[in-house]
């Protein structure tokens, strides 16, 4: 019997749900599909397990992966749990570079004075990154490897010229952030590679920065977000970087928005020209939360706001 | 080599030891067992509520090693060796925690479904910031959905609890 208003295609799953509810108290209820499990105690174990299991995925904080597994959008055959790799949990200043271990939790990165000194853009972005409980468990590396198109840190990494250190049993290689994000949930990391470290060059003295975002609820995914950095001498812009999230399958650098202000005096005319160029260079998707035109409007407003705030911070420090 | 030997097959179980509200529990769980299901079904501590089960609503929030954690976004195996606090450890009817007393006093709940998550989230906030103001409280609770109260009375309650706890 079909229930009025419920399609036949749902009858099966609903029956399955009822069945599951019945078995609840026998301890039989589960949401994720089964997976083999390896708990790595050190990096070498994680790398050899990755090499040995072609279907393996890394389980870091799990704040995106487990949500997708609960919805059965993801069904990895094997998970390699790296939560015990405490030697990947660090934030260090190394000369002119900031080194962040891939297993660093967001809460640690968000509140780190070293991050604030080396990459104030990242600290600013953390105003928008998830809710506290998710930041407590989610990791910087896991978040980057998940490569969600609305995620903030990919934009921070691209704008600040970060490099990602990838390890496998074959050795180590480094990939620039700009080359790392390939598409929707797709990165340059190969199946057997583990992201171990994120290296960010120290922001040049006097550089201005800003992260701007609009979301339906604070901490939710961005409808649109803009990361911007600006280097000025006097009032002319020497170098500008504008990176957008929520407008494409991945975080994208908007070179066309950078062009009108680079080398120009920063004023309302040049900021407006940059924001218009940003808006005209994107073709964002429409979804339940916002249509394409609204997102384009947001790109205009947030780009102008971000560049303007970054300009206000130029030359203030260092 | 070591890792290959350590691989647990999907349907096999893993022995874990978890301390919940000060009591240690040793259990066997499948790798895919969510911490939320482990708490509710294996330990029968049903005070932790499951709303969305994909990390949006915050109802299943518990403290893991003192930090608020969504138990539906954590596998039980990841909690091996951890100290967990659930709503059952907060207070009792005869000896309510100041947060619980304040939620009662200020009508910080109607149906009560979101309340355990609200309380555990607020607990972390007030431990870290005993003088949290309304804005801090709203920010801290932004990851917890309530479909009844409109949040005003919840913020009132946490504000009152902060006052009580500062005085105590």
Nearest residue of B to residue A35, measured between CA atoms: B10
On whether both B133 and B77 belong to a single domain, the answer is no
**Unique residue bearing structure tokens 């009025």:** A4
CATH of the domain at A250: 3.30.390.50
- Structural domain contains residue B77: yes
Instruction: Select from A142, A100, A144 the least CA-distant residue to A119.
Output: A100
CA–CA separation, B120 vs B21, rounded Å?
Answer: 13
Whether residues A30 and B77 touch (CB distance < 8 A) is answered with no
CATH of the domain at B64: 3.10.20.30
Of the residues A146, A177, A201, the one at which a domain ends: A201
On whether both B148 and B129 belong to a single domain, the answer is yes
- Structural domain contains residue A168: yes
- Structural domain contains residue A120: yes
Question: For each successive 10 residues of chain B (168 residues), what is the average pLDDT?
Answer: 73 96 97 98 98 96 98 98 98 96 98 98 98 96 96 98 92
CATH of the domain at B153: 1.10.150.120
Whether residues B31 and A24 touch (CB distance < 8 A) is answered with no
On whether both B67 and B44 belong to a single domain, the answer is yes
On whether both A260 and A177 belong to a single domain, the answer is no
On whether both A134 and A180 belong to a single domain, the answer is yes
**Hey, what are A34's tokens?**
């089964």
On whether both A233 and A302 belong to a single domain, the answer is yes
On whether both B151 and B123 belong to a single domain, the answer is yes
- Structural domain contains residue A299: yes
On whether both A275 and A298 belong to a single domain, the answer is yes
Of the residues B89, B123, B154, the one at which a domain ends: B89
On whether both A166 and A233 belong to a single domain, the answer is no
Whether residue B132 contacts residue B162, with contact meaning beta carbons closer than 8 Å, is answered with yes
CA–CA separation, A130 vs A142, rounded Å?
Answer: 14
For chain A, say whether B67 makes contact (Cβ under 8 Å). Answer: yes
**Residues whose CB is less than 8 angstroms from the CB of residue A44 and which lie 6 or more positions away in sequence, other chains included:** none
On whether both A95 and A184 belong to a single domain, the answer is yes
Domain region containing A290 = 208-313
Looking at the complex, report in whole angstroms how far the Cα of residue B1 sits from the nearest Cα belonging to chain A: 7
How far separated are the first and last CA of chain B, in Å rounded?
56
CA–CA separation, B132 vs B115, rounded Å?
Answer: 19
Residues in chain B: 168
Of the residues B63, B89, B115, the one at which a domain ends: B89
Whether residue A45 contacts residue A39, with contact meaning beta carbons closer than 8 Å, is answered with no
**Hey, what are B93's tokens?**
């009817």
Whether residue B122 contacts residue B137, with contact meaning beta carbons closer than 8 Å, is answered with yes
- Structural domain contains residue A73: no
pLDDT score of A234: 79
Question: How many domains, chain B?
Answer: 2
Alpha helices by DSSP H, B38-107 = 98-105
CA–CA separation, A226 vs A125, rounded Å?
Answer: 10
Whether residue A5 contacts residue A50, with contact meaning beta carbons closer than 8 Å, is answered with no
On whether both A283 and A307 belong to a single domain, the answer is yes
- Structural domain contains residue B1: no
pLDDT tens series, chain A, 318 aa: 333 334 444 444 444 554 454 444 445 567 999 999 999 999 999 999 999 999 999 999 999 999 999 999 999 999 999 999 999 999 999 999 999 999 999 999 999 999 999 999 999 999 999 999 999 999 999 999 999 999 999 999 999 999 999 999 999 999 999 999 999 999 999 999 999 999 999 999 999 999 999 998 888 889 999 999 999 987 789 999 999 999 999 999 999 999 999 999 999 999 999 999 999 999 999 999 999 999 999 999 999 999 999 999 998 754
Whether residue A97 contacts residue A199, with contact meaning beta carbons closer than 8 Å, is answered with yes
On whether both A116 and A132 belong to a single domain, the answer is yes
pLDDT score of A311: 95
CA–CA separation, A302 vs A225, rounded Å?
Answer: 7
Please state the ipTM of this predicted complex: 0.95
What is the β-pairing status of strands A171-176 and B14-20?
A: unpaired
Whether residue A65 contacts residue A23, with contact meaning beta carbons closer than 8 Å, is answered with no
On whether both A235 and A288 belong to a single domain, the answer is yes
A94: β partners: A97
Whether residues A30 and B37 touch (CB distance < 8 A) is answered with yes
Count of C-beta atoms within a 10 Å radius of residue A171: 7
CA–CA separation, A157 vs A162, rounded Å?
Answer: 5
| Residue of A24, A29, A37 to mutate, interface with B, max B Cβ within 10 Å | A37
Whether residue A140 contacts residue A63, with contact meaning beta carbons closer than 8 Å, is answered with no
- Structural domain contains residue A108: yes
SS3 (DSSP) at B137:
helix
On whether both A215 and A309 belong to a single domain, the answer is yes
pLDDT score of A5: 38
Domain region containing B151 = 98-167
- Structural domain contains residue B65: yes
Of the residues B32, B59, B89, the one at which a domain ends: B89
**Residues whose CB is less than 8 angstroms from the CB of residue B95 and which lie 6 or more positions away in sequence, other chains included:** none
pLDDT score of A28: 56
| Residue of A22, A66, A133 to mutate, interface with B, max B Cβ within 10 Å | A133
Of the residues A172, A201, A230, the one at which a domain ends: A201
Whether residue A74 contacts residue A65, with contact meaning beta carbons closer than 8 Å, is answered with yes
**Hey, what are A30's tokens?**
């589960």
| Complete edge-to-edge strand list for the sheet that includes strand A208-215 | A208-215, A222-233, A236-245, A252-253
CA–CA separation, A49 vs B3, rounded Å?
Answer: 6
Of the residues A201, A230, A258, the one at which a domain ends: A201
Question: How many domains, chain A?
Answer: 2
On whether both A251 and A290 belong to a single domain, the answer is yes
Instruction: Select from A61, A79, A47 the least CA-distant residue to A192.
Output: A47
**Hey, what are B99's tokens?**
């947060």
Q: Cα–Cα distances in Å, from A58 out to A50, A154, B84?
A: 8, 18, 24
Q: What is the pTM of this model?
A: 0.92
On whether both A181 and A93 belong to a single domain, the answer is yes
- Structural domain contains residue B2: no
pLDDT score of B4: 55
Q: With contacts defined as CB-CB under 8 Å, which chain A residues touch B70? A: 63, 133-134, 137
Query: B132: number of CA atoms within 13 Å, CB side?
Result: 28
For chain A, say whether B59 makes contact (Cβ under 8 Å). Answer: no
SS3 (DSSP) at A302:
helix
- Structural domain contains residue B31: yes
Torsion-angle region of residue A172: left (phi > 0), alpha (psi -120 to 50) or beta? beta
Alpha helices by DSSP H, A24-139 = 43-52, 65-70, 106-110, 113-118, 120-125, 132-137
Nearest Cβ partner for A133 among B1, B68, B139: B68
Whether residue A243 contacts residue A254, with contact meaning beta carbons closer than 8 Å, is answered with yes
**Residues whose CB is less than 8 angstroms from the CB of residue A187 and which lie 6 or more positions away in sequence, other chains included:** A144, A145, A147, A180, A181
Looking at the complex, report in whole angstroms how far the Cα of residue B99 sits from the nearest Cα belonging to chain A: 19
Q: Sign of the CA dihedral A183, A189, A195, A199?
A: negative
Q: At what angle do helices B152-167 and B115-128 cross, to 10 degrees?
A: 40
For chain A, say whether B101 makes contact (Cβ under 8 Å). Answer: no
Q: What is the pLDDT of residues A264-311, one digit of tens each?
A: 999 999 999 999 999 999 999 999 999 999 999 999 999 999 999 999
């Amino acid at each position: 019997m079909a229930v009025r208003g419920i399609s036949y295609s749902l009858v099966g799953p609903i029956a399955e749900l009822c069945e599951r509810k019945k078995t609840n108290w026998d301890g039989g209820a589960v949401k994720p599909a089964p997976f083999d499990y390896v708990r790595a105690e050190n990096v070498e174990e994680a790398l050899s397990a990755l090499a040995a299991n072609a279907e393996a995925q890394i389980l870091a904080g799990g704040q995106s992966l487990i949500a997708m597994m609960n919805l059965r959008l993801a069904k990895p055959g094997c998970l390699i749990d790296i939560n015990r790799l405490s030697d990947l949990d660090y934030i260090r200043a190394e000369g002119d570079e900031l080194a962040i271990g891939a297993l660093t939790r967001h809460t640690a990165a968000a509140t780190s004075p070293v991050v604030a000194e080396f990459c104030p853009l990242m600290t600013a972005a953390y105003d928008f990154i998830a809710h506290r409980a998710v930041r407590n468990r989610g990791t910087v590396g896991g978040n980057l490897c998940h490569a969600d198109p609305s995620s903030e840190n990919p934009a921070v990494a691209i704008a600040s010229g970060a490099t990602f250190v990838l390890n496998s049993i074959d050795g180590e290689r480094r990939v620039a952030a700009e080359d790392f994000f390939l598409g929707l949930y797709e990165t340059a990391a190969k199946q057997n590679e583990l992201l171990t470290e994120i290296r960010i060059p120290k922001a040049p003295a006097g550089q201005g920065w800003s992260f701007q975002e609009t979301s339906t609820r604070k901490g939710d995914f961005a409808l649109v977000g803009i990361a911007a950095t600006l280097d000025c001498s006097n009032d002319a812009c020497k170098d500008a970087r504008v990176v957008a999230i929520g407008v494409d399958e991945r975080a994208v650098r908007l070179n066309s928005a950078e062009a009108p202000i680079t080398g120009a005096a920063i004023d309302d005319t040049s900021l407006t020209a940059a924001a218009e160029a940003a808006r005209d260079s994107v073709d964002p998707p429409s979804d339940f939360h916002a249509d394409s035109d609204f997102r384009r409007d947001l790109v205009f407003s947030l780009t102008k706001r971000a560049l303007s705030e970054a300009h206000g911070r130029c030359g203030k420090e260092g | 080599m070591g890792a290959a030997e350590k691989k647990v097959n999907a349907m096999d179980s893993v022995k874990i030891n978890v301390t919940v509200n000060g009591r240690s529990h040793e259990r066997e769980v499948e790798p895919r067992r969510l911490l939320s299901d482990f708490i509710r079904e294996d330990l029968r501590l049903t005070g932790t509520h499951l709303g969305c089960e994909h990390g949006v609503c915050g109802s299943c929030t518990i403290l893991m090693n003192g930090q608020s954690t969504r138990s539906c976004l954590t596998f039980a195996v990841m909690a091996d060796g951890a100290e967990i606090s659930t709503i059952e450890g907060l207070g009792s009817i005869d000896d309510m925690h100041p947060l619980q007393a304040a939620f009662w006093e200020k009508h910080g709940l109607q149906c009560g479904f979101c309340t355990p998550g609200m309380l555990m989230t607020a607990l972390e906030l007030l431990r870290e910031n005993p003088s949290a103001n309304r804005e801090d409280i709203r920010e801290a609770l932004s990851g917890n959905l309530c479909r009844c109260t409109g949040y005003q009375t919840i913020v009132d309650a946490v504000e009152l609890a902060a006052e009580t706890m500062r005085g105590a």
